Amino acid sequence: MSSIDSVSTVAPPTSADPFGALTSGEFLNILITELSNQDPLSPSETKDVLEQVSVIRSIESNLSLQRNFNQLIEQSEVASAGNLIGKYVVGRNDRGQSVESFVGSVTVTREGPVLNLLNGQRAPFDQIEEIFDPALFATDDAGDEPEAPAANPDTAPDEPDEPDGG
Protein backbone atom coordinates (compact mmCIF):
# COMPACT_ATOMS: atom_id res chain seq x y z
CA MET A 1 0.00 0.00 0.00
CA SER A 2 1.50 3.34 -1.01
CA SER A 3 1.28 6.38 1.16
CA ILE A 4 -1.12 7.97 -1.32
CA ASP A 5 -3.55 5.12 -0.67
CA SER A 6 -3.26 5.74 3.07
CA VAL A 7 -3.80 9.47 2.59
CA SER A 8 -6.85 8.91 0.38
CA THR A 9 -8.59 6.93 3.12
CA VAL A 10 -8.98 10.15 5.11
CA ALA A 11 -12.51 11.56 4.94
CA PRO A 12 -12.89 13.73 1.83
CA PRO A 13 -13.41 17.46 2.25
CA THR A 14 -17.02 18.54 2.52
CA SER A 15 -16.42 21.31 -0.01
CA ALA A 16 -17.93 20.93 -3.48
CA ASP A 17 -14.41 21.54 -4.84
CA PRO A 18 -11.90 19.40 -2.94
CA PHE A 19 -8.95 21.03 -4.72
CA GLY A 20 -10.19 24.50 -3.88
CA ALA A 21 -10.16 23.57 -0.19
CA LEU A 22 -6.56 22.28 -0.42
CA THR A 23 -3.99 24.94 0.43
CA SER A 24 -0.42 24.88 -0.86
CA GLY A 25 0.77 24.00 2.65
CA GLU A 26 -1.59 21.04 2.86
CA PHE A 27 -0.49 19.89 -0.57
CA LEU A 28 3.15 20.13 0.50
CA ASN A 29 2.35 18.09 3.63
CA ILE A 30 0.79 15.37 1.46
CA LEU A 31 3.84 15.37 -0.78
CA ILE A 32 6.24 15.14 2.20
CA THR A 33 4.12 12.32 3.68
CA GLU A 34 4.31 10.53 0.34
CA LEU A 35 8.08 10.85 0.22
CA SER A 36 8.67 9.95 3.89
CA ASN A 37 6.41 6.87 3.76
CA GLN A 38 7.77 5.39 0.57
CA ASP A 39 9.49 2.03 0.61
CA PRO A 40 13.22 2.68 1.09
CA LEU A 41 14.05 -0.39 -1.02
CA SER A 42 11.90 0.93 -3.89
CA PRO A 43 11.81 4.71 -3.66
CA SER A 44 9.60 6.76 -5.95
CA GLU A 45 11.44 8.41 -8.74
CA THR A 46 11.41 12.20 -8.73
CA LYS A 47 9.85 12.24 -12.19
CA ASP A 48 6.95 10.06 -10.92
CA VAL A 49 6.29 12.47 -8.05
CA LEU A 50 6.46 15.44 -10.44
CA GLU A 51 4.02 13.69 -12.80
CA GLN A 52 1.59 13.15 -9.92
CA VAL A 53 1.88 16.83 -8.96
CA SER A 54 1.35 17.82 -12.59
CA VAL A 55 -1.75 15.64 -12.91
CA ILE A 56 -3.24 17.03 -9.70
CA ARG A 57 -2.62 20.62 -10.80
CA SER A 58 -4.05 19.88 -14.25
CA ILE A 59 -7.24 18.48 -12.73
CA GLU A 60 -7.48 21.51 -10.44
CA SER A 61 -7.04 23.84 -13.41
CA ASN A 62 -9.70 22.02 -15.45
CA LEU A 63 -12.20 22.20 -12.58
CA SER A 64 -11.55 25.92 -12.16
CA LEU A 65 -11.92 26.51 -15.90
CA GLN A 66 -15.24 24.61 -15.93
CA ARG A 67 -16.56 26.67 -12.98
CA ASN A 68 -15.58 29.92 -14.69
CA PHE A 69 -17.14 28.79 -17.97
CA ASN A 70 -20.43 27.90 -16.24
CA GLN A 71 -20.50 31.29 -14.49
CA LEU A 72 -19.93 33.03 -17.82
CA ILE A 73 -22.83 31.13 -19.39
CA GLU A 74 -25.12 32.02 -16.48
CA GLN A 75 -24.18 35.72 -16.67
CA SER A 76 -24.74 35.72 -20.42
CA GLU A 77 -28.21 34.17 -20.04
CA VAL A 78 -29.19 36.72 -17.38
CA ALA A 79 -27.97 39.61 -19.55
CA SER A 80 -29.83 38.26 -22.60
CA ALA A 81 -33.01 37.76 -20.56
CA GLY A 82 -32.69 41.31 -19.19
CA ASN A 83 -32.56 42.64 -22.75
CA LEU A 84 -36.07 41.21 -23.27
CA ILE A 85 -37.65 43.57 -20.72
CA GLY A 86 -40.27 45.57 -22.60
CA LYS A 87 -40.39 43.11 -25.51
CA TYR A 88 -43.40 40.96 -26.39
CA VAL A 89 -42.54 37.26 -26.17
CA VAL A 90 -44.24 33.99 -27.00
CA GLY A 91 -43.14 30.75 -25.40
CA ARG A 92 -43.98 28.04 -22.89
CA ASN A 93 -44.17 28.06 -19.11
CA ASP A 94 -42.57 25.39 -16.91
CA ARG A 95 -45.66 23.17 -17.39
CA GLY A 96 -45.39 23.38 -21.18
CA GLN A 97 -48.42 25.67 -21.60
CA SER A 98 -48.29 28.46 -24.15
CA VAL A 99 -47.71 31.94 -22.70
CA GLU A 100 -47.33 35.36 -24.27
CA SER A 101 -47.15 38.94 -23.14
CA PHE A 102 -44.73 41.79 -22.60
CA VAL A 103 -41.76 41.07 -20.32
CA GLY A 104 -41.91 43.15 -17.16
CA SER A 105 -38.94 41.75 -15.25
CA VAL A 106 -36.54 38.83 -14.93
CA THR A 107 -36.03 36.55 -11.94
CA VAL A 108 -32.78 34.61 -11.61
CA THR A 109 -33.38 31.06 -10.32
CA ARG A 110 -31.21 27.96 -9.93
CA GLU A 111 -32.66 26.68 -13.20
CA GLY A 112 -31.78 29.90 -15.00
CA PRO A 113 -33.52 33.19 -15.77
CA VAL A 114 -37.33 33.30 -15.71
CA LEU A 115 -39.25 36.05 -17.53
CA ASN A 116 -42.06 37.65 -15.53
CA LEU A 117 -44.73 38.70 -18.01
CA LEU A 118 -47.04 41.68 -17.51
CA ASN A 119 -50.11 39.41 -17.60
CA GLY A 120 -48.86 37.56 -14.50
CA GLN A 121 -47.51 34.53 -16.35
CA ARG A 122 -43.91 33.34 -16.15
CA ALA A 123 -41.72 31.69 -18.77
CA PRO A 124 -38.25 30.19 -18.43
CA PHE A 125 -35.80 32.05 -20.67
CA ASP A 126 -34.87 28.87 -22.53
CA GLN A 127 -38.55 28.29 -23.44
CA ILE A 128 -39.03 31.51 -25.42
CA GLU A 129 -40.00 30.78 -29.02
CA GLU A 130 -40.62 34.23 -30.50
CA ILE A 131 -39.72 37.83 -29.67
CA PHE A 132 -41.55 40.88 -31.05
CA ASP A 133 -40.45 44.50 -31.24
CA PRO A 134 -42.86 46.61 -29.13
CA ALA A 135 -42.99 49.19 -31.95
CA LEU A 136 -45.14 46.72 -33.92
CA PHE A 137 -47.97 47.06 -31.40
CA ALA A 138 -50.67 49.70 -31.33
CA THR A 139 -51.46 51.39 -28.02
CA ASP A 140 -54.84 52.78 -27.14
CA ASP A 141 -55.37 56.39 -26.11
CA ALA A 142 -55.83 55.46 -22.43
CA GLY A 143 -52.19 54.28 -22.21
CA ASP A 144 -53.16 50.71 -21.34
CA GLU A 145 -50.97 47.75 -22.14
CA PRO A 146 -50.49 47.49 -25.89
CA GLU A 147 -52.56 44.90 -27.70
CA ALA A 148 -50.80 42.02 -29.41
CA PRO A 149 -51.10 41.87 -33.19
CA ALA A 150 -53.51 39.31 -34.59
CA ALA A 151 -50.66 37.50 -36.30
CA ASN A 152 -46.99 37.93 -36.94
CA PRO A 153 -46.83 39.88 -40.23
CA ASP A 154 -43.92 37.73 -41.41
CA THR A 155 -45.83 34.47 -40.96
CA ALA A 156 -49.42 35.56 -41.77
CA PRO A 157 -50.81 34.08 -44.98
CA ASP A 158 -51.05 36.49 -47.88
CA GLU A 159 -54.56 37.69 -48.60
CA PRO A 160 -55.61 37.73 -52.24
CA ASP A 161 -55.89 41.16 -53.80
CA GLU A 162 -59.46 42.29 -54.30
CA PRO A 163 -60.29 43.30 -57.86
CA ASP A 164 -61.06 46.96 -58.43
CA GLY A 165 -64.69 47.79 -59.06
CA GLY A 166 -63.98 49.64 -62.31
In this structure, are 90 and 128 located in the same domain? yes
* Domain encompassing residue 114: 83-136
**Paired residues of 138 in beta bridges:** 147
Q: Which residues of 148-158 are buried (b: 16+ CB within 10 A; e: fewer)?
A: beeeeeeeeee
Whether 155 is covered by a domain: the verdict is no
Contact assessment for residue 88 and residue 137, using Cβ atoms and an 8 Å cutoff: yes
The residue count for the chain? 166
Query: Is 93 inside any structural domain?
Result: yes
Q: Is residue 102 part of a domain?
A: yes
- Provide the pLDDT for residue 102: 95
Please tell me whether residues 64 and 108 are part of one structural domain: no
* Positive/negative CA dihedral, 15, 17, 18, 22: negative
Structural domain contains residue 148: no
pLDDT of residue 10: 45
- Beta strand spans in 21-92 (E): 88-92
**Per-residue pLDDT at 16:** 58
User: Are residues 63 and 114 located together in one domain of the fold?
Assistant: no
Determine, yes or no, domain membership for 66: yes
Print pLDDT tens along the chain (166 aa): 444 444 444 444 455 556 566 677 777 777 778 777 777 777 667 777 778 778 888 888 898 999 999 999 999 999 999 999 999 999 999 999 999 999 999 999 998 999 999 999 999 999 999 999 888 876 655 555 556 555 444 544 444 444 454 4
Query: What whole-number distance in Å separates Cα of residue 66 and Cα of residue 71?
Result: 9
User: What is the pLDDT, as a whole number, of residue 149?
Assistant: 54
- Do 9 and 67 fall within a single domain? yes
Containing H/E element for 73? helix 46-82
Could you tell me if 22 and 59 are in contact, meaning their C-beta atoms sit under 8 angstroms apart? no
The domain tally of the chain equals 2
Query: Does 163 reside within a domain?
Result: no
Where on the phi/psi map is residue 143: left (φ > 0), alpha (ψ -120 to 50), or beta? Answer: left
Q: What is the DSSP letter of 133?
A: -
Q: Are residues 27 and 74 in the same domain?
A: yes
Q: At a CB cut-off of 8 Å and minimum separation 6, what does 128 contact?
A: 84, 89, 90, 91, 115
Q: Is residue 151 part of a domain?
A: no
pLDDT score, position 36:
77
Same domain, 68 and 89: no
